[in-house]
Structure 1
C-alpha cells in the first residue's frame, strides 16, 4: 500500500538587499555620509525591519509597503568607517551586508593616508541618478539661479544635513550649490568642484586674495589654494567655518607646539609663554590662541606675525604695553 505524502510548498524569497550608497571603498571628505538601501517587493512584503549601524550610531526602519528605498545620513569618523545593514524577515531570518568607506582629512592622524583599496568614487553619475529619480529630483539648477527656499533646491532632500551645524556658509544657507558644484555634463561625474578650491573662494572673497597673495610669506594651505583644508565650505560649529577650534586646528599640523607652551623660555608663566587657556589681552572677550600672534593666511614677517610686525618686540607690545 502506497503512502500518501503531502508536500507543503513554502514561498521562496529571493533576497536582493542592495546598498546603493555609499559606494564601496570610496573616499569622503565631509563628516556625514548617506546610506541608501534598496529592497525587493518580496522583502518589503515579508520584512519586519531594516537596521543600520555606523560605529556607535544605530537606526531602525519598519517596513513601509509604499517604499523600496530607505535612506539615512550619519556622521563618519576620520579614517575607516563601516556601515552595516541588517534586514529581518517575519520568520526571524536575517540578511547582513556592509560597506566600508574612508573619511580623508590631513587634520587627523588616522585619516592622513587612505589604504590602497580606497579611492575617490563620484556618486552623481547618470547610472546612479537613474536609480534615485523615482523619489528624488535629479535635475540641476543653472549657475545663476537662487532657489525660492531650501526645499525648492533639488539638492536639499539628500544634503540638508550639511547645513545642520551651528554656522552655515552663505552659499549653503541659500542652497546655491550650483555656484560651486557645476554640472559638467559628464556621464561619470556630474558635479565637479575646482582644484584648488580657492578659484571659487576668491570669486567672492576677492579682497582677501589681493591682500594675502601680495604678502612676502604665505601659509601653505593659502599658497596652494586649498582653503578647505582648514575651512568647511558648507557649515561648521566653529568660528570662521573652521573644521576644528583654532588651537586644535593649528596643532593638527604643528604638533610640536601642542604642549600648550611656546618658544619664549623663561619669559612668564613658568617655563615659556602659553598658547591657550588664558584671556587674549589684544582681543577682549576671546581666549589666547595661535592666531592671537600669528596670521593663518599671510604676513610680511617670516613667523607669520600679525599686523606685519617686523620685529618680535613689536608683537609683544600688542599685549604687554608697559
Structure 2
C-alpha cells in the first residue's frame, strides 16, 4: 500500500490512470479533451502551462527535494538556495517575501500564469489586498478589473512606497493616480 501511495503522488499518465482512478476519486483523465500533455513526462495538465520551474523541467528534483516525495525544507528555504537575491537590497519588502513565504504566491513546479504565480496577479493579490482595503476614490485604477496589479506595483520589493514601480507616482489624496514616465 505504501508503494501505491508513493505512486499516487506522481503525475497521472495513460499508463497509471486506470490504477489510480480505481483507488482514488478525482484523478484527471489523460484523454480528456481539454487536457494538455507534457511532452517531457507524459503528465496530463487540465490547464496550459505558461511557466515552468527550471529544475523541475530539467528533472533535477534533488535541487529542492530531499527525497522524491518531500521538500527538503517546509518553508521557502529551498527556494532561497537559488533565489536569495529576492530578499536582499530592497528598501521596502512585500510581506510574504519578508516572511520567507514564497509558496504563498508561487507554485513550485509549474503554473498557468507567468512567474509561477498561483493565480492571476489580480486574484492572487486580492486574497490579502481586498477591495475594501483599496482606496478606489484616490486610485481609480484599483476599481478597473482589467488592470493587473503588477502594471503599477512590484511583487517582491522596491524603493518606492506601496511597492510602486519606478516611474509610477504614489497617488495624492483627493486626486487620481498620476501617470509616471
TM interval, short-chain normalised: 0.5 to 0.7
CA drift of 1:176 comes to 0.3
C-alpha offsets along residues 10-59 of structure 1, whole Å, 9 cap, x if unaligned?
A: xxxxxxx999438xxxxx9xx98x98969xxxxxxxxxxx846635x676
| 1:248 counterpart = 2:114 | no
Which residue of structure 1 lines up, in the alignment, with residue 149 of structure 2?
290
| 1:263 counterpart = 2:135 | yes
**Judging changes above 3 Å, is the alpha-carbon distance between structure 1 residues 161 and 177 closer, same or farther for their aligned structure 2 residues?**
farther
For the pair shown, the structure with the greater C-alpha radius of gyration is 1
Q: Which has the higher strand share?
A: 1
Whole-angstrom distance in 2 between the partners of 1:231 and 1:242: 4
**Judging changes above 3 Å, is the alpha-carbon distance between structure 1 residues 53 and 21 closer, same or farther for their aligned structure 2 residues?**
closer
Which residue of structure 1 lines up, in the alignment, with residue 93 of structure 2?
218
Which residue of structure 2 lines up, in the alignment, with residue 300 of structure 1?
159
**Judging changes above 3 Å, is the alpha-carbon distance between structure 1 residues 266 and 247 closer, same or farther for their aligned structure 2 residues?**
closer
From 81, 85, 89, give the equivalent of 1:203.
81
Alignment coverage as a number of residue pairs: 161
| 1:173 counterpart = 2:57 | yes
Q: Which has the higher helix share?
A: 2
Output the TM-score relative to the length of structure 1. 0.39
Are the equivalent residues in 1 in contact too, given 2:51–2:112 (CA < 8 A)? yes
From 73, 77, 81, give the equivalent of 1:194.
73
Whole-angstrom distance in 2 between the partners of 1:317 and 1:234: 36
Runs of 5+ consecutive residues of structure 2 not aligned to the other structure: 30-38
| Range that drifts further, 304-313 or 220-229 | 304-313
Are the equivalent residues in 2 in contact too, given 1:169–1:235 (CA < 8 A)? yes
**Judging changes above 3 Å, is the alpha-carbon distance between structure 1 residues 201 and 181 closer, same or farther for their aligned structure 2 residues?**
same
Are the equivalent residues in 2 in contact too, given 1:20–1:36 (CA < 8 A)? no
Are the equivalent residues in 2 in contact too, given 1:19–1:35 (CA < 8 A)? no
Q: Which of 1 and 2 has higher RCO (CA within 8 Å, sep 6+)?
A: 2
Whole-angstrom distance in 2 between the partners of 1:218 and 1:253: 15
Are the equivalent residues in 1 in contact too, given 2:138–2:171 (CA < 8 A)? no
Q: CA RMSD in A?
A: 4.3
* Partner secondary structure for residue 162 of structure 2: coil
